[in-house]
Each structure stands twice: as structure tokens, then as C-alpha cells.
Structure 1
Amino acid sequence: MEIYQSEEQQVEAIKKFWKDNGNSIIAGLVIGLGGFIGFNYYQNSQIEAMESASSQYQQNIEVMNTNGEEFRTNSKTFINEHKDSSYASFTALALAKDAASHGDYKEAEKQLSSAAELAPSEEVKAIAQLRLARVQIQQENIDAALATLAKPFPEKFAATVAETKGDAYLLSGDKQQARSAYQSAVVAGGLESSPQLQMKLDDLAIAVNVAG
């Protein structure tokens, strides 16, 4: 099962947003909450902290495919030291991807839960939760996957959530619930982002006809 491919571009877009807009967001929050007293000092220190975190994050990601052990060690240290940075959540997502690629789904679950907790936005949290559900499905832990998918998600994730529910129900053998979930995904516009959705529905129809 390919757990990560479908959201990879979205994650990259969110990373770019935080890199481009993180400083102005912090500035707006400081102005709104604390006025201008000490603002310049605070802003400069926060910009330096963000630039440092960004640099460390990029350097660490670069060794992900060349030195896995170093990547894992550095990533866990980075998360502990930068919990307030958006890059902590992105690092946890990367750790989860690395763990899943080695079949360590328990570690992937742990890191995806951490990514959701540390997420800088509802979109990043949604991506982490979707990946968590898919890892749980991979382990055939259907109840846990459905519980994860029952959590609140932004409306634009409705189709993906419904399709993933369908995958969970199908694996459990509940073809009726699977079909209903897939149809909900279609209604929510899932065919635009997931061409395989129609194939899943067609395969279910064939299976039902054969069984009948």
C-alpha cells in the first residue's frame, strides 16, 4: 500500500507557505497580543530561530536517504529542541515515512501522532491523521483507523477521508459500508484527485454481482 504519495505535493506546499509567511504570521500575532513594546527584539529573535530551524531541517532531510541512522537520531533531537517550530511536525512526518518504508508501523504510528499534535495548521494535522489511519489499515487495525477518521477534518479533506474509510471497511469485509463510503467520496469530488476511486467502486460492483 502506498501510504504517502497522494499528499506529498500538499505537504510541500504547506512547507513553502510557512517558509514564506511564517515571519509575517508571528509579527501579526505579536502586534495583536503584545503591542509594539519590545517588538523589534522579539521579531529579530524569532526570525533567527525560524531561520536556524529551517536550516537544520533542510540539512537533516538531505541525509534521509543516505544515512538513515543519522537522520533518525538527528530528527528526534530536532523535534525535542524545536517543538514550537512548524518544522517539528514536518520532521515527525518524515520520521513516520522512514519508519513505514522499513515496515516499522508502530514507530510510524507514534511519529504520525506526534506530527498531528505538533501540527502548525489544521491542514498539516489532517494529513498526519490521514496517514495515521492508513498505517492502521496497513496493520489491519480497522477500529483504530475508523476512530482516527472520525476526528474532525477540514472540509476539503472530505473525499479523501471517505475513500480511506472505504478502504478500511473493505479490508474488514464490510462491502456495503465500503461502497457507501466510496460513493460519499465521489459525491465530495474524489474522482478529481483519486482516479483509482472509480476502480474501487467498479471492483466492488463486480464482486457483489459474482457473489449474487
Structure 2
Amino acid sequence: VASEYLEDVSKKAKSGLMFVKLVNPCSGEGAIYLFTICLQQLFEVKVFKEKHHSCFINQSVQSRGLVHFATPVDPLFLLLHYLMKADKKGKFQPLDQVVVDNVFPNCILLLKLPELEKVLHHVTEEKEIDNKKHYKYSEKKTLKWLEEKSTSFFSGDQVSTDKEEDYILYAHGLISDYIPKELSNDLSKYLKLPEPSASLPNPPSKKIRFRGCSCRETHTV
């Protein structure tokens, strides 16, 4: 389904929805995302595949093995991929010179998200040069931001019945799906998490409340 939209992005833009291929910030490979023109929001598209599966479409039952889910994703995760690459040059740069990708040219859409500039301070140092803002990746700020993300996944009443460390381990695992392996390791050290071992308990099996939603699997980052 997504490949059909990718053939002609401009036509799909007129409908207010664009399926685009952007970099997966964890693997560095391509992944399908949904960009809404009207809401100016980014969604990741996940595919649930099952051999024996049917679903209702209007008034009929369709036998299909694929279900596509679109869930909101924080664009800063994708931006981190480019900021960390640009940081190797060790200098401040305009954002439009940082977010450049010949393989995934639609990455420029990230810069059109209206709230992006307001949250860049979470992961960058900022400097104004010739009346234009320049940015540089900040590992210190990024780790602090990711720490706040980790603790936002669970509420205080849950910590009283389960070890806080178990929840942070679980949250770290979720966030690691959206950041490079190197940054995931740095975050683990920053959170002072124990080294993985067979003796560690499994993540909490009870339902966890993610941003006000009680569920087992569904979550947004």
C-alpha cells in the first residue's frame, strides 16, 4: 500500500496525507511514515501481519493478513539521526544543511513541522550567526531529554507496587527502538541501568499506563 503512495508524493499531498519513506533512526534503513499536511504531524506506520486474519471494511468482511497502524512519533528522534551525523564535523550549522539526505530526500518535510524549532533546545546547542540560527548536537541535553522520556511512561502509583528500575528498563527498551545503538548504550549508562543478564526480571507484565492510556502494547514516543 505504502509503495503506491511513494510513486507520486505530490498528488497525495493534495489530499492532506503523504506516505513517505524516511530513515529509521534506530537501524538507519528506510521506513514508511505518514505525514499529515493539515495537522502537520508525523506518524510511523507499523504493520501487523498474521496468516489467519480478517477485518471489517464498511459492511463486509475482508480476509487480509496485513493491518497497518499509524501512531504519532516525536520528529526529534528522526532529527537526532542527522544531528549526530553532522556533529562529526564539530561545528554549528543551519538546520537545512544538517537535514540533508540523498537516499531519503523527503527528510526535508521534517523542517516543515511547526513545533520543531520550539523543541530543538532539548537536543541541541544554539548559536546565531549572521542573523540565522545554527545548531549543534548536544549529547548532554539529549541524554537528559531521553531520561525525562523514560520516566514519563509510567505514573507514580505504579512505582509503589513495582520496582522503578523495572519500569525504567522497560521504557529504555521502548526508546531504544527509536535511537541509534550507540546512543542507547549511552542512555543505559546515564540511567545507571544494570548490565543485561539472564538473572534480570522480565519487564512488568501488568498493564502499563502510557500517557493516560491503559494498554499492553500500544505506545507512542
Q: TM-score, normalised by structure 2?
A: 0.27
Indicate the structure with greater helix content. Answer: 1
**Structure number with higher strand proportion:** 2
**TM-score of the pair, normalised by structure 1:** 0.28
